[in-house]
Structure formats: structure tokens, C-alpha cells
């Protein structure tokens, strides 16, 4: 595994990672309705891309495939 900085153009891949994480790993803790509210199928692509670019996340790769990401916000919050 390799951790590196985000590269512009990876926004849609990070959206896929986000949605697969919410819908694939939280069913024990959240209802389907809650999951859909958190990661809806319909979303504003430009808004998502702008948000990701502002966060400057760290991206985790495994054999060249993005498998996760996280960001450290100015107030110290890790998301």
C-alpha cells in the first residue's frame, strides 16, 4: 500500500470509494434510508469535486488502485 496526496481528476474515483464504503460497510449500524441520505446515488458532481479539491485528501493506493482516502482539516479533525 502507498499513501500519497490527491491528484486533480481523481474526484469521481473518490466518490466511488466513499459510496462503496457507506453502502458496503455500515449496514450493521445504519438503515438503508440513513445510508442513502449520507451517500445518495444522485449528487452534484461539481459540488463534490470542489469539496474534494478543497480538502486536499491523502489517497491510499494498493497495486495502483485507489482503495481509500482521508483528510486532515485545519481544526485537526481527521475525516
Backbone φ and ψ for 60, nearest 5 degrees, come out as -105, 125
pTM of the model: 0.89
Alpha carbon 56 to chain centroid distance? 12
Mean pLDDT of 14-29: 95
Distance (Å) of CA 25 to CA 18, 21, 35, 51, 76:
11, 5, 10, 23, 25
Residue-level pLDDT at 75: 93
In the block, residue with C-alpha cell 491528484: 7
51-78: per-residue pLDDT in tens? 999 999 999 999 999 999 999 998 999 9
Report d(CA 65, CA 63) in Å as an integer: 6
Amino acid at each position: 500500500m502507498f499513501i500519497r496526496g490527491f491528484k486533480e481528476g481523481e474526484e469521481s474515483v473518490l466518490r466511488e470509494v466513499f459510496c462503496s464504503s457507506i453502502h458496503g460497510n455500515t449496514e450493521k449500524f445504519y438503515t438503508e434510508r440513513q445510508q442513502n441520505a449520507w451517500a445518495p446515488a444522485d449528487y452534484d458532481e461539481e459540488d463534490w469535486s470542489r469539496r474534494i479539491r478543497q480538502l486536499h485528501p491523502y489517497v491510499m493506493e494498493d497495486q495502483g488502485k485507489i482503495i481509500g482516502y482521508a483528510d486532515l482539516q485545519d481544526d485537526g479533525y481527521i475525516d
